[in-house]
Amino acid sequence: MSDKYWRRIFHPAPKEGNKMKANNLGSKIRDEFPIFKNNEKSVNGQTKPFVYLDSAVSAQKPKHVIQAMVNHLENDYGSVHRGAYGVSIRSSQMYEDTRHKVAKFIDPKINANQVVFTRGTTEALNILAYGISDVYLNENSRIVIPAIEHHANLIPWQQAALRKDCELAYISMLGKKGNQLTLNLSEAEKLITKNTKIVSLAYVGNVIGQINPIEEIIAMAKKVGSLVILDCAQSMSTHEEYLFSLGADAIAFSPHKLYGPSGIGVLAMSEELIEKLPPSTFGGGMISDVTLEESQWISGPAKFEAGTPPITEVCGLGAAIDWVEKKGRKNIHNHSSELAKIFLDGLKNINDIEVFSPESGQETIISFRHKKIHAHDMATILDSENIAMRAGHHCAWPLIRILGVDALIRCSFAAYSDRDDVEIALEAIKNASKKV
């Protein structure tokens, strides 16, 4: 293996047809992420780089985010909305300032009072499913979701349908390969009828990386008066569309996929939903009055934020938004999708590889499998080369079964990914058969 696979000394010129646009991402920002230097491996006196290609599960954190959280813990940490002393006041101000920043980041159409901090996308979608089933659904209602959703946007709606004894209908894909790996809009139009109360789907799929036609589906839903919920866990770092302006009623995302911390999520809702939905967690901070007989809830986002919230994580979220906006979501998307296209083209030249991608050129996630090496074994082989990719069902069992496979390997690209990552990964996949 040549030196370029062991140390990023130089970047070979891209092959004709795979030229990447000049930008300030990839290797140019690698030093902003301590994890890469700290996870290099020394082999026979040479340095083997850490190739992280699992950003779809969780993105790495830049120094800007890490230092913001350290500074807060060292200088300003205090419980929010609970003290009349300095650190509590400063923490509370940061917490609410970040809520305003998040609202602006999502859509100028919404305000800070529509933004709820949760533990993650999963909790946010559960809050929605629980509350909506209580307020909006009955036995005559229909919920419509794609069959290929992440479990976090499938199971809560299954449970809501069971609670209300109502119908849960699934939108299928057009097919199982290539550009057929997209939602069947004709079927969606037939399913989204006047009794449809909820349409919920991911903006970007977490397994095959498809960019779902949300504008078309939102239009179908609004035509019959349905609420629209969007899982934006995979899209917030790369897509800039103002989703509430397009007609969404609620969105959810996780900052840990946005180069921020884990342990925190964001749920943004319409003013109607934030007013009408009941809380699902009870305790301090979300009440206006409590007697021994009953309790009354405070209005606004605090109604959904019982207990001590993820204070330092909120600080990290604010820093992550600043970092992403400085780099530019469009730039991040263009950079990541170009790398994914090069990787996809390379996979097609390797024997026994089967690719699962819509191949639109806009995906930042590519899933594949080796016909002779199980996905979990392939992930282990890649790890021996200091390459991180996820293998398994990716919290999407129905999709895996639809595709007719038992597991997939997922490769996902981010702002810090570069051409060397692609070349190293392709070489390791090509040589994997020699290790089994």
Amino acid symbol at 28: K
DSSP state of 304: G
Amino acid symbol at 396: A
Concatenating the DSSP letter of every residue in 9-31 gives S--PPPPTT-PPPP-S-GGGGGG
Torsion of CA 393, 394, 395, 397, to 10 degrees: -30
The alpha carbon of 311 is separated from its chain's Cα centroid by a whole number of angstroms, namely 21
Answer for the pair 429, 374: CB distance below 8 angstroms, yes or no: no
Answer for the pair 377, 436: CB distance below 8 angstroms, yes or no: yes
Rounded Cα distance, 207 and 365, in Å: 7
> What are the tokens at 392?
């398994």
Query: Strand 353-356 vs strand 365-370: parallel, antiparallel, or unpaired?
Result: antiparallel
Nearest to 28 by CA among 331, 308, 242, 298: 331
Amino acid symbol at 176: K
Nearest to 229 by CA among 221, 241, 238, 239: 221
232 noted as active-site residue: no
Residues across the chain: 436
Strand partners, 287: 297
Given 166, 232, 315, 395, which residue is catalytic? 395
Answer for the pair 156, 128: CB distance below 8 angstroms, yes or no: yes
Alpha-carbon distance values, 213 to 133, 250, 400 (Å): 25, 17, 21
Residues that are catalytic:
395
